[in-house]
Amino acid sequence: MDRRKITDPQRLKALAHPLRWKLIDVLTINDTATATQCAAAVGESVASCSYHLNMLAKYGFVEQAEGGQGREKPWRLLDRHQSYDDEGMDVDGARAAEAATEALLEHEFDRARQYLRGHDREPEPWRRMAGLTGLLSFLTADEATELRADVNALFDRYRDRAEAQKRPSGSRPVRFQLISFAIPGTEETPDRTGCQAAPDRAQARCPCPDEGAAPCTPKPSTASRPSDTRTTSRTPSGRGWSKRRRGSPKFPSRTGRASRPARGTPSAASRAAA
């Protein structure tokens, strides 16, 4: 699959608005839509949608399709996949990539919150499939890259269904979002190969500078639990969503505002049709 990266900072700046990501969604789901139809779908004014559609068109994300006129002229996407990162970019480009990612995250989490507010009105099979799953584990950079590639390979099996003729009967737009990053403020686990011959050093998590030196204890991270591998899963349950950790009771539902991603984290951002 050809995934052309966006490298022009001006094009990235055009994506730095949550409403524009919403409009991209509408055109992904419906193939074509007028400004009036977009306004009804996203809950904004026709004038606002028309303006943002024209801005997306200016920077090559959408174009007007055949038929209609004025605000009743339909729009369509030029590319259903937007991919970018800040590798090799100057400061202006990196800031543009960060702003686009923040707008995308705001849109994604707003959509998730919208679903949570109305999930009890969904048919039972659709309530059952919905959920939030997360993993906090200890991986090398290569392992994390490989895991991300494995999950993306699963996504690739269904990407072509963005085309209307390939959508099976009974299907609906379903959103899966993969976000991966190293926990800020943490350090890499030291090499403890030599600790096998010195159990006291292994218990102290010592990097073994030499056998004659006293074991050292690296400063523990406050951002994670060194001895814990944690999996988080949330599924609709009763009046709210429950969070269960293996071996622990249910916790009450919690909501929070996503923190602003640091520059370059994640190192790449991509978005494709569900």
Q: Which residues contact 224 (CB under 8 A, 6 or more apart)?
A: 136, 183, 186
| Amino acid 193: pLDDT | 72
Tell me the three state secondary structure of residue 147: helix
Exposed, middle or buried: residue 172 (CB in 10 Å: 0-12, 13-18, 19+)?
exposed
Mean pLDDT over 18-38 rounds to 93
Give the rounded percent of residues in the chain with a pLDDT score beyond 90: 46
pLDDT in the model for residue 224: 42
pLDDT digits (tens, 9 = 90+) for 46-73: 999 999 999 999 999 999 998 877 668 9
pTM of the entire predicted model: 0.65
pLDDT (average), residues 240-266: 41
The region of weakest confidence among 80-94, 99-113, 140-154, 241-255 is 241-255
Query: Contacts from 32-38 at CB under 8 Å and sequence distance 24+?
Result: 32/65, 32/74, 32/75, 32/76, 33/74, 33/75, 34/68, 34/71, 34/72, 34/73, 34/74, 34/75, 35/71, 35/72, 35/75, 36/71, 36/72, 38/75
Pairwise CA distance, residues 260 & 96, whole Å: 14
Summarize pLDDT for 125-183 with one digit per residue, the tens.
999 999 888 889 999 999 999 999 999 999 999 988 888 889 999 999 999 988 999 99
Residue recorded with tokens 């993969």: 178
Closest CA relative to residue 272, chosen from 154, 134, 177:
177
**Tens of pLDDT, residues 170-223:** 999 999 988 999 999 999 999 877 665 555 544 555 555 555 545 555 545 444
260 pLDDT above the threshold of 50: no
Look up residue 93 and give its two tokens. Answer: 């480009």
In the chain, domain spans:
9-162+171-182+254-271, 191-228
What strands, in cross-sheet order, belong to the sheet with 230-237?
132-136, 230-237, 240-244
> In the predicted model, what is the mean pLDDT of residues 9-35?
93
- Res 132: pLDDT: 85
Place of tokens 């099976």: 168
The predicted model gives 232-242 an average pLDDT of 50
| CB-CB contact of 25 with 114 (8 Å) | no
Measured in whole angstroms, how far is the alpha carbon of residue 23 from the centre of its chain?
A: 17
- What's the CATH number for 9-162+171-182+254-271? 1.10.10.10
